[in-house]
Structure formats: structure tokens, C-alpha cells
Structure 1
Amino acid sequence: MIGEISVNVGGDEVRKACLLLVAVAMSAMTWWGAGNVTAEPQLPRVTQYSENVGTFGDHDFCHGAFNIGMVAPKGKRGVVRITLTSFGFTGNGSGWARDPKCRFFALVNTTAGFGKNEYFPVAFGRRPGERVTIESHPGSGPKAVTVSTSSSDRRSDIQSFGATMYTIVP
């Protein structure tokens, strides 16, 4: 067997090298962030399922869905501006005909410390494209931002699956 070379590298050494590489990369991203903020770019993010959330509201079986957008406001470090854009909501009965607004709370949970819950009132009607803008302050660095909904009369009742986005906040 001419020219045969055998290299014996243990699994522990490879695992340690990979962990060290990940630690160095995360440290670099945390230290430098995403650079200076000069515009409001969409934050790069990874989601598990979707950036769309379906929910229901406070009266007459009102229900619908909305999309989640996230930007870094110009000149504000550690802040995420979340925009909820409605696909249109609908309901049943005479109550919906009198009051065609579906109300609920948007629950924003960020990994600032051990998790920070913020509730924001939302009201969407029939027309698609209605927007609600929320500012959250999770701080700079790698973060997980979850948006879900709760009922308008009891904030503790979660009523949608929600969407979790992993991002780097400048």
C-alpha cells in the first residue's frame, strides 16, 4: 500500500472545534452587530413556519390573518419596529355589520433577559392592507422575536399559534 495516509481524529476534538467556531462567530456578530443604521432595512430573519398569523377577535366570530414585517429604525440601536399588515378580517351577524372591527392584543415576546412580554391593542376591519406598527426594545445582538395574539378582555389567554423569528438586531 504505497501512499496510504491515516489520520485519526476523535469525535470530541471535532465537536470542540465546531463549538469554538460557533462561539467565535456569535461573539463577532454580537460585538459588531449589523453596522451603523442608515435606513430602515428589513431585518434578516429565519422563521420556523411562516410570517403570517391567523387569529380571531372579540365579537361576532370575527377572524382573519396578518403578516409580520420587522425593520431596524434609523438611528435607534436595539430597537425593532414590527408592522402587522392585515389580509382582511370578517365576521358574522348583525353585530359585525354594526361594528366591523376585529379587536385583539398583539403579544410580542423578545429574548431581552429571560423573555419580555409586551401587549399592544390591534383593531383590523374588512379592508386588506390596514397596518399597525409596534416598537419593541429587545436590545442589540442575536434575538428571537415572537408575535402571537391574545383576547381583548383577558391578556393571559393566548389565541393564536404565533410566529417566531430569529434575527440580529443592530
Structure 2
Amino acid sequence: MRLYVTAVRKWWTAAAAIILMAVICQLSGTSSIQLPALNGSGVAPLAYFTPLLVSSAVLYCLNQRADHIERTAVVAVAVIDAAFVGLVFVLCLAAGFVTGFDTARNVLLLTCIGLLIAQVGNSASGIATGMMLLIASIVAGRGPAGSHSWWAVLLYPPNSVPAWSLTAVLLAAAGIRSVKASRKP
């Protein structure tokens, strides 16, 4: 199974994405990107986009398959996947000391949304949904003087209880949904 994890699922890409996210957040500092905005300023910090690296990598890894190996595996591949997704989340929270805990929270949030959408559609639609939510939050969710709309959860500060609560609810929903999906014959 070790070869399956590294050669088929390619979970090392998620670890590389976490490292890249931390490096970009550390090096970019206050660098920003000009974007169109409906309200307020059109300037967005570069760090807002780094959670997409990790959430896309996780969904990419989960999309890699070798059905003949999965059907004959001694340990259910869904259990291994759940362990690796959990490990990615723990590593993202640890990276939060470098990137900021709002970035770590946004990784969890975008990944959970992507997992839920991927179970209905596919992993590409899960990645696209996370990307569109991030862009919509930045373009339409920000107001003047650093304020934000109630629905733009990705823009909430790192210590926001509602944002962490929503992340926990989505994490539970994605976990329950993936357990039910893995039990299907």
C-alpha cells in the first residue's frame, strides 16, 4: 500500500502544496494582486489564494485511481484516504503558525466544500467551486474600509468563531458523506 499511496494517489503532492503555501505566504508578506471589486478596494493579498494550492492537491490525490488495486486491497482505500486527508488538515493547522490561521481555516473550508461537491460531481467541479467561492468573496464580498459581507466566510479574521464553526460543520458533513460513499458496494 505504500507504493499505492506514493505512486497512484501521489499524496506527496499534498505535502509539497502545504510547503509551497507556507513559503509563498512567508515570502509574499504584504504583496497584493489587483482584482476588480464591486465594493471597496480591488486589492487582495496574495496569501488569500494559497489555500487553493492545498485544496486542489487533496482533490487531485483523491481522484487518482487504480481500481484493480482498490478492489483487492487488504485495508480499505477509503480508510487510508481519510487518514491522509486528516494528516493534511493537521499539517495545515501546524502551518497556520507561519501562514496565519485564517489561511489554514480556508484550506479546510475549501477542501471540505470541494469534497462535498466532488461526491456529487467530480473533483474538477470541486476545485472549480472552491476557486469560484474564493474569487466571489474577494470581488463581491469585500466592502469599504476592510469590511466584508456575512457570506464571505473566507475573508473572516483568524479568530472568527462563526467561520471556524462553519468549517467544523462542513468537515463533519464531508466526513459523514465520505463514510457513506465508501460503504456502497
Provide the TM-score with structure 2 as the length reference.
Answer: 0.24
Higher strand share: 1
**Higher-Rg member (1/2):** 1
- Give the TM-score normalised by the residue count of structure 1: 0.25
